[in-house]
Amino acid sequence: MAERVVIEARWDPILGDWVLVSNVREFRPWRPRGCPFCPGSPETGWGWRVLVIENAFPMLVPNPPTGPRSDFPFISVPGRGRCFVVVETPRHDVDDLSDLSASDLADVLETLQILFEELSKDPAIVYALWFRNKGEEVGVSLTHPHSQVYALPFIPNKVLREMRNCYRFWARSGRCLLCEVRDRELEAGERVVCRTRFFAAFVPFWAKWPFEIHVHPLRHLESLRYASREELEDLARCLRAVLQGLRRVFGKPMPYVAVLHEPPLRGSYPWFHTHLEIYGMYRVSGRLKYAGGSETGGGVFTYDSTPEVAAKMLRSALEVPDHGSEDKR
């Protein structure tokens, strides 16, 4: 008998988290011989520079097959939402986003702007989570440059915690906590990795991953949707510099996870602004960092060196971007 399709979100009442469950994910291919994201494949076709397609093995779907369940503590809701793949370039030989020109990378960011705007019109979608996994070490099954967007019916718990703390700070001080952190990091300087005309990248004082880098706008830019083309191109230059630095610091590609923390798709959030978090996975010794017992079981991250040392290593591997000129490859 074939296993029934399950696509749902299950509620963890102990931690207060939603867990996405989808048994169709187990059928996704691992490093197939023919790339489904190259131009001319059945999924992609021809004549595109950046392409957004539905994920063939989604965690969420517009019309999920499973119904809700409410016999406490077994609470679930249908996995209603959408999962997209953002194919970032037609070129299969590109190793990372940092190998794209600033203009081409800005096109990727502009594509996200358009997608987020479209999703904001769907009342079933509350949040758009963009993320990018790099490297076999973090489970990347297809090597063609791509990232993903989960259109969620809820705010991810990590972002929700950020927003709650930012709101509390704003209610007390009238100031955005993220702006305060950015400004203090720029003032301190020792953990700053890169600063361009409109953006700054730094290793946060409380970094959890060895080469964790946060990229913030220098103005209070609430959402990526509100960035100008000039700002997108500057963000692209900042990202290229940081990602190239991650690759150079050990002379080999750095496995990483990048996630964009946006506000929810609807509403006004003057106490919160968009920012990108990149989690570089190699320790300063060059060995891979695992989320072990303390991190996975207790939620307490350990840091074997210091964020200041990681920032210094990364700065030394960086080529400072020139925001006055366009870099082409």
- pLDDT tens string 64-121: 998 999 999 999 999 999 999 999 999 999 989 999 999 999 999 999 999 999 999 9
Convert the pLDDT of each residue in 224-267 to its tens digit. Answer: 999 999 999 999 999 999 999 999 999 999 999 999 999 999 99
Question: Based on the number of CB atoms within 10 Å of its own CB, is 172 exposed (0-12), middle (13-18) or buried (19 or more)?
Answer: exposed
Cβ neighbours for 296, distance < 8 A, ≥ 6 positions apart? none
Has residue 16 got a pLDDT over 70?
yes
Quote the distance between the C-alpha of residue 264 and its chain's center.
Answer: 15
β pairing state of 51-54 and 127-134: unpaired
Tokens representing residue 237 in the block: 């230059």
pLDDT at 140 over 90: no
Q: Which fold has domain 7-30+38-316?
A: HIT family, subunit A (3.30.428)
Beta carbons of 193 and 318 less than 8 angstroms apart: yes
